[in-house]
Amino acid sequence: MGRGSALLLLGFLLLRLNWGLAVGGGGAEEEGGVFPVVVSTWPFLDAVRAAWEVVAAGGAGGSAVDAVVAGCSACEVLRCDGTVGPGGSPDENGETTLDALIMNGTTMEIGAVAAMRYVKDGIKAAKLVMEYTDHTLLVGEKATAFAISMGLAGPTNLSSPESIEKWTNWRLNHCQPNFWKNVVPAGICGPYHPVNIPPFGFKDPVKGTVEETQGATCQGWLQSDNVLEPTNSHFKSVNRHNHDTISMAVIDKMGHIAVGTSTNGATFKIPGRVGDGPIPGSSAYGDDEVGACGATGDGDIMMRFLPCYQVVESMRQGMEPRDAAMDAISRIARKYPDFIGAVFAMNKKGVHAGACHGWTFQYSVRNFSMQDVEVITVTPYMARPQK
């Protein structure tokens, strides 16, 4: 073998070593700039495959932004776990609404919609906000009007027989559990008002209406004794089937990064509630110069900490993805030991890892060295008690 051939062989072997898998802490890590890469929360295999088809196409492939839209759209159509797209997670009124976000890590542009009614294409609506407005977030019926004016189908009923049945059974269970606290009446359906005693001379309109229309037969639920009952308001078992998001990150062949999320929010949420799905830096964040992050779990808690912004900034300061993910989760766990959530982190080289608290988390990955999507399982982080 000539010297030139030997050097070529040595270089090839070193390159192969850089592509090897290393397992530790939060899951598997890929080393070396191996593009493209698609990462998504949960075993949403078809969503990752849809994104991969776009980004791994011939030539330069599709863009990271287009891949994220394809992947999240697939999950919306499939109604992943009933928590993404139409037909799931009814609110207290039985209605399904959508939240979504997309971020271009090259330009740092973001588009998002929240509490959007009557349009089933959440991630496409978010992309329209990013591409055709100077805004970042549109909400409610105005987001609906915008999306339809830009060519998306609607108005469409986002409920389904399954979501209506779920809501009906919840009503029959006295609207329990729910997301209210410090209110009366406790333990049954509303309308609710604060526990605090109203000012002198104030007549409770709810009580007055019941007294006038129902007489004494329905007075028990308005008696002051109810103030002493525990509200048992918040869901004690948040899980991926009632309170979840698809969060996806893509690095395309050019090394550009995009992230996106789509969700129909928390089941039986108070109408108007917006979780972390459309909040930049909470559910997702990406920067070509550093990497990307996706999050899932109890958005009402997690959005108070912007965990994905924290992950990306920690990696910017030199942390490895696993350490950055664990650091972000630990910051939340120290303040809220009972919270349930997870993040995945991926640096600009495609190295990825995850961390979680309160549940066992799984995320999905596809890169060029894999024959199909692979699912990584992450064990829960145990928070150390504060001194």
Q: Domain count of the chain?
A: 1
Question: What does the alpha-carbon distance between residue 126 and residue 113 come to, in Å, rounded to a whole number?
Answer: 6
Is residue 56 one of the residues assigned to a domain? yes
What is the CA angle 74-153-164, rounded to 5?
A: 70
Is residue 374 one of the residues assigned to a domain? yes
Is residue 81 one of the residues assigned to a domain? yes
Is residue 273 one of the residues assigned to a domain? yes
pLDDT tens across 25-66, in order? 333 343 445 799 999 999 999 999 999 999 999 888 899 999
Is residue 17 one of the residues assigned to a domain? no
Binding residues for substrate: 273-276, 296-299
83 φ, ψ (degrees, to nearest 5): -110, 0
The one-character DSSP state at 380 is: B
Of the residues 41, 231, 245, 263, only one is catalytic, namely 245
Is residue 216 one of the residues assigned to a domain? no
Domain limits for position 68: 37-161+238-378
136 is catalytic: no
Is residue 271 one of the residues assigned to a domain? yes
pLDDT-based confidence at residue 12 (cuts at 50, 70, 90): very low
> pLDDT value at position 68?
98
pLDDT tens across 159-171, in order? 999 999 999 999 9
Strands (E) in 25-170, as ranges, are 27-30, 37-41, 98-104, 110-116, 137-139
Is the pTM higher than 0.95? The answer reads no
pLDDT tens across 77-97, in order? 999 988 998 998 999 999 999
pLDDT beyond 90 at 4: no
The domain that holds 255 is classified in CATH as 3.60.20.30
Is residue 175 one of the residues assigned to a domain? no
